[in-house]
Amino acid sequence: MTLNDLGWNDRFEAEFAEYREKGWEPARLIRDNKISYGAVLDDGTEMEVALGGAVYHEAETDAELPAVGDWVALEMGAEGNEYEGLIRARLERQTCLSRKAPGKGTEEQVMAANVNVVFAVTDAGQDFNLRRMERYFTVMLRSGARSVVLLNKSDLYSDEINQMAKEALKALSPDVEVILTSAIESSGVDAIRSYLEPGVTIALIGSSGVGKSSLINQLIGQDWLWTGEVNGVTGKGTHTTTARELLPLKAGGMLIDNPGIREVQVWTDAKTLKESFRDFDEVATQCKYHDCKHRSDQGCAIQAAIEDGTLSRERFINYLKLDFELEKLSQRKKKRELTVSRRTRRELNSKGEKYSRKPPREGRR
């Protein structure tokens, strides 16, 4: 195994030059163990490494900390370190698959770094939800990686139902490839393998119980991951993947598996959202007024297109929801930044007062 097999390229090499002069070694993170990381070196050696203090303290958010798929600079055998290596730096990411962390906070959660292709796994039955897929498309578009949808468990549904689901997905995002797969029958697996070659990293995302683990076992060629059952009443599956992990594949390439996603809260910007809903953005240019809110505004081209059936009302409502979420997220981020700024200013003022105090004069004898 070489660095290139792991996804190394000229840009990473150029950035790493200053670290190589310090005697540090490049490695790719394959596992996040919460208090440590699993890393793989250019010769295929795996080791447990720890996060250096400077990297931790210089990160302003959790998203800036190393994540699975990241390239890092390791100092080997650092004095006083119980692990085999110490992470001294994280290289800049070329792509980043992330979402807003679950909950009401304003943190970005990195799901996979330096990924070339993202596969969103769903099926044509219980898991099929166009509104959720719109969220997936927005998340995948922002990542910078290529987007593909896997309609899994195709053996459970008729050709007609599978085709209807495929056409509905293509209508949402014409540029996205949709592949019918069945882990049970091994169909469509070769189509996934066609994306794999040395140096290429793919990631799988989707709801729990949709069959990601079964597909991964097919790609690896062994029962690497335990596969869980889907609840017949709720249609929800058990989480068979509990942690993100990068798996090197014998046939070439690497795969990052993610735990099942229960909620897809987007972490993006207005530009990416518009690109995800290009059909609305194109129609909006025909509105009578440039500041049209697309509600009950006179001369609104979007409302007219919804009325004549050109655009989907449900899709438009989902667009408004996502736009509202982004606006609220932006407001919370600004509030958080203001709070941090005030706290930092108070701390600096406090330190300034401490060191500017004159020492008490000694009394006369």
Write out 258-327 in H/E/C secondary structure.
Answer: CCCCCCCCCCCCHHHHHHHCHHHHHHHCCCCCCCCCCCCCCCCHHHHHHHCCCCCHHHHHHHHHHHHHHH
Pair 170, 56 in one domain: no
| Interatomic CA distance for residues 204 and 108, integer angstroms | 19
| Interatomic CA distance for residues 153 and 61, integer angstroms | 38
Side-chain-side CA neighbours of 308 within 13 Å: the count stands at 7
**Counted domains in the chain:** 3
Pair 151, 298 in one domain: no
For the chain, the residue count is 365
Pair 236, 252 in one domain: yes
| Domain presence at residue 360 | no
Last residue of a domain, one of 90, 119, 147: 90
Q: State residue 213's pLDDT score.
A: 86
Phi/psi-derived region of residue 224, left when phi > 0, alpha when psi is between -120 and 50, beta in every other case: alpha
Q: Counting Cβ atoms within 10 Å, is residue 184 exposed (0-12), middle (13-18) or buried (19+)? A: middle
Q: For the whole model, what pTM was predicted?
A: 0.73
Amino acid at 126: Q
| Domain presence at residue 350 | no
| Domain presence at residue 339 | no
The C-alpha torsion from 308 through 314 and 316 to 322, rounded to 10°, is 180
Pair 44, 147 in one domain: no
| Domain presence at residue 16 | yes
Last residue of a domain, one of 48, 65, 90: 90
pLDDT tens across the length of the chain (365 residues): 788 999 999 999 999 999 999 999 999 999 998 889 999 998 889 999 999 989 999 998 889 999 999 999 999 976 666 788 999 999 999 999 988 776 656 678 899 999 999 999 999 998 898 888 988 898 898 899 999 999 999 999 999 999 999 999 998 888 899 999 998 899 999 999 999 999 999 999 988 888 888 898 888 876 444 334 443 433 433 334 446 789 888 778 999 987 755 555 555 666 667 777 778 788 888 888 888 888 777 889 888 888 888 888 887 877 777 777 777 666 666 665 555 556 556 656 665 555 555 565 555 44
Pair 187, 288 in one domain: no
Give the H or E element holding residue 38. Answer: strand 37-40
Tell me, what DSSP letter sits at residue 243? S
Last residue of a domain, one of 29, 57, 90: 90
Tell me, what DSSP letter sits at residue 156? G
Beta bridge partners, 123, equal 152
Domain of residue 121: give its range.
Answer: 96-257
Pair 121, 46 in one domain: no
| Among 16, 15, 70, residue whose Cα is nearest residue 38 | 70
Pair 169, 67 in one domain: no
| Among 176, 109, 103, 180, residue whose Cα is nearest residue 138 | 176
| Domain presence at residue 147 | yes
